[in-house]
């Protein structure tokens, strides 16, 4: 039987907290009575968020492309915020272009996207399991994308990282069940949202505040997968006619 999840009174570790969906989540979590530990790359932005938001009780500026970042975050949480019972892996980067152009600069961007979008949430989830498992109930929320289902040709690496995170989330959920841990592991299959990340994409985008609300409502319902806006339709199309879903995204 599916049980609901209540954010009230919880401490939530949120990556990518200063912009886009992350910033909208800060406000939405505050409205639910939660407090936030804000993690983002820019020191000034993190400090400003801590200063101006009553919801954010502490912040840490860290570059998730650094392979040691996730361990540093986990140590910070363990030393200062052992009451943390929710992890939201929201931070992501996206490079647009074609690998076929022969540019050697792709070596850097490929590594950066894999480190931020895939390795960081995998390692951070594993590092925080001891802290989360000490609570009567906890949650790990991983933000993937409809692009994990049907990729865009101009964002090949981003799509691959989100597909990897989707697979990891399913396996981690099974591991938590097998270990009898009271940790809800939820995947958020995100639609195209109006953020800096998607600025080069000119088609209509979903507002970040609505995406944040949809995300939290799905978790509150105890869902294992939360499909946001157009991702719901993509799910149906992909189930019935995968080729049509691939063609629709390829044509964008």
Which are the catalytic amino acids? 158
What is the spatial order of strands in the sheet that 84-89 belongs to? 56-61, 35-40, 11-15, 84-89, 138-145, 183-190, 225-227
Q: What angle do CA 93, 95, 97 make, to 5 degrees?
A: 165
User: Do 97 and 120 touch, CB atoms closer than 8 A?
Assistant: no
| Cα(140)–Cα(160) distance, integer angstroms | 21
User: Do 223 and 186 touch, CB atoms closer than 8 A?
Assistant: yes
């Amino acid at each position: 039987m599916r049980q609901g999840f209540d954010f009230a009174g919880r401490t939530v570790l949120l990556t990518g907290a200063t912009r886009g969906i992350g910033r909208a989540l800060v406000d939405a979590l505050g409205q639910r009575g939660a407090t936030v530990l804000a993690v983002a790359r820019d020191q000034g932005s993190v400090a400003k968020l801590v200063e101006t938001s009553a919801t954010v009780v502490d912040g840490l500026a860290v570059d998730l492309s650094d392979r040691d970042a996730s361990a540093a975050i986990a140590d910070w949480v363990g030393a200062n915020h052992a009451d943390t019972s929710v992890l939201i892996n929201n931070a992501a980067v996206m490079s647009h272009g074609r690998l076929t152009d022969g540019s050697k600069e792709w070596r850097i961007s490929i590594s950066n996207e894999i480190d931020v979008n895939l390795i960081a949430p995998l390692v951070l989830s594993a590092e925080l399991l001891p802290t989360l498992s000490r609570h009567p109930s906890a949650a790990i929320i991983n933000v993937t994308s409809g692009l994990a289902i049907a990729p865009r040709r101009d964002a090949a690496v981003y799509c691959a990282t989100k597909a990897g995170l989707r697979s990891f989330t399913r396996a981690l959920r099974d591991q938590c069940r097998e270990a009898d841990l009271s940790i809800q592991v939820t995947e958020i299959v995100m639609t195209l949202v109006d953020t800096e990340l998607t600025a080069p994409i000119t088609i209509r985008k979903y507002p970040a505040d609505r995406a944040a609300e949809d995300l939290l409502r799905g978790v509150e319902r105890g869902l294992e997968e939360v499909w946001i806006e157009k991702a719901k339709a993509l799910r149906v199309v992909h189930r019935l006619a995968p080729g049509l879903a691939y063609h629709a995204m390829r044509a964008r």
